[in-house]
Homo-oligomer: A and B are copies of this chain.
Amino acid sequence: MPSSVQRKRIRKTPEARRAEIVETAARVALTEGLECVTLRRIAEELAVRPGLISHYFPSAEDLVAEAFSVAATGELDALLPADRPHGSPTQYLARYFALSGGEAYDDISRLWINARHLSRYRPVLRDRVAEQELASDDRLSDLIREGVERGEFRTDDPRAAAIQILVVVDGLGAHANTDRSDRPEAVTRMAVTTAERELGLRYGALTEVRLPAELVAPTGQAGPTDPAESTDPADSTGPAQLAEPTEPTNSA
């Protein structure tokens, strides 16, 4: 009996296989970093041979870019849903900041740092990063615009307000890989403060919001518990080698 290795081939439709490759790549990207999205690593996750990944993604760079896009899109939808049937703009914005402060947000911050750095060397990824930044701007701009229309927010330029908020969120998230324990309260609160200022809200308006039950549970994500198959975060040593600027010389 083949105890350890799986001998039997499992043949899937190209669509299904491709989907599971992308899904796995996105998960690895989010939890362990884009450098860990390698042909071997993803193949191992799916118990297939690396050549198969190559078959679906002839250029590994495309898989990395796709992994980022999928992961970032999923996170954006979880943090700032496009459809907001369960509350007011103020409530959804308050929810966004509440989630942004949590530790779960560190993975997303790390992913963005990762992608922004890696896009220095990888043009395909760079385009995706720009695309996702635009999507974030749009999503938040829409929320703000709706809030203005409803009379909850006040600003002349919803987009400028949105970008300013996101710049602060980025600035705070930049330290996701470092220690942030001794930050003054004013700093921890910067994103909220910026939003309150730019949207004409009083201090505390976004932190004292009471959220309806539907907005408390994280959306899109799997349930609160995922019993089995939790990858051990401790032993993920990251990319084995520095690796990765495969040819940084031809920066073109």
Contact = CB atoms under 8 A, between A and B. Distances in A.
B178 A130 contact: yes
Copies of this chain assembled into the complex:
2
A187 to B, nearest CB: 5
Nearest to A244: B35
Interface string A152-170: 0000010110011011111
A247 to B, nearest CB: 11
Interface in A210-252: 237-239, 242-245, 248, 250-251
B164 A187 contact: yes
Interface string A171-204: 1101111110001101100100100010000010
29 contacts: A32-B248, A35-B121, A35-B242, A35-B243, A35-B244, A35-B248, A110-B117, A113-B113, A113-B117, A113-B174, A114-B117, A116-B175, A116-B178, A118-B242, A119-B177, A119-B178, A120-B238, A121-B239, A126-B178, A133-B178, A157-B184, A160-B184, A160-B186, A160-B187, A167-B171, A167-B190, A170-B171, A174-B174, A197-B250
